[in-house]
């Protein structure tokens, strides 16, 4: 895994308690709950941090040394999210549009919808 790549989400996400879900953009109101590890990575996929920074951040979140297989776990999670087109990787930092930058429940619904239509993310 090239840790110099920036990672960013391409689906709208929600946070309900500890559960992170993504919204299927082709089926209105269809929430897909994510496994905990997938949810952590999606919620951190702001386009402003590299995979190396992700590994460093998650490694530092443990009291004491991180699990020996943490890096393999993160690589596997990132690979699954890329393959399922929930996140993408880029050589440079990416500025997310409003509707992808914060959880759905924190968005102004009308503003988000207007920008999604403008960007071609959804149809009118």
Condensed to tens digits (0 to 9), the pLDDT of residues 73-107 reads 999 999 999 999 999 999 999 999 999 999 999 99
Among 84, 7, 106, 11, residue whose Cα is nearest residue 48: 7
3-state secondary structure of 16: strand
Read off the pLDDT of residues 9-38 as tens digits, 9 standing for 90 and up: 999 999 999 999 999 877 766 899 999 999
At 28 the pLDDT is 67
Contact 10, 100 (CB under 8 A): yes
Round to whole Å and give the CA distance between 85 and 102. 18
CB 47 within 8 A of CB 6: yes
Strand order in the sheet with 19-23: 13-16, 19-23, 31-33
């Amino acid at each position: 895994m090239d840790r110099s790549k920036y990672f960013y989400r391409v689906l709208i996400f929600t946070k309900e308690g500890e559960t992170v879900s993504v919204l299927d953009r082709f089926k209105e109101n269809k929430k897909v709950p994510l496994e905990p590890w997938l949810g952590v990575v999606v919620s951190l996929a702001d386009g402003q941090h590299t995979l190396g920074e992700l590994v460093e951040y998650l490694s530092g979140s443990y009291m004491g040394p991180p699990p020996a297989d943490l890096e393999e776990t993160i690589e596997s999670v990132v690979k699954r999210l890329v393959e399922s087109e929930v996140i993408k990787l880029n050589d440079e930092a990416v500025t997310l549009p409003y509707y992808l930058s914060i959880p759905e429940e924190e968005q102004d619904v009308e503003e988000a919808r207007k920008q999604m239509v403008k960007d071609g993310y959804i149809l009118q």
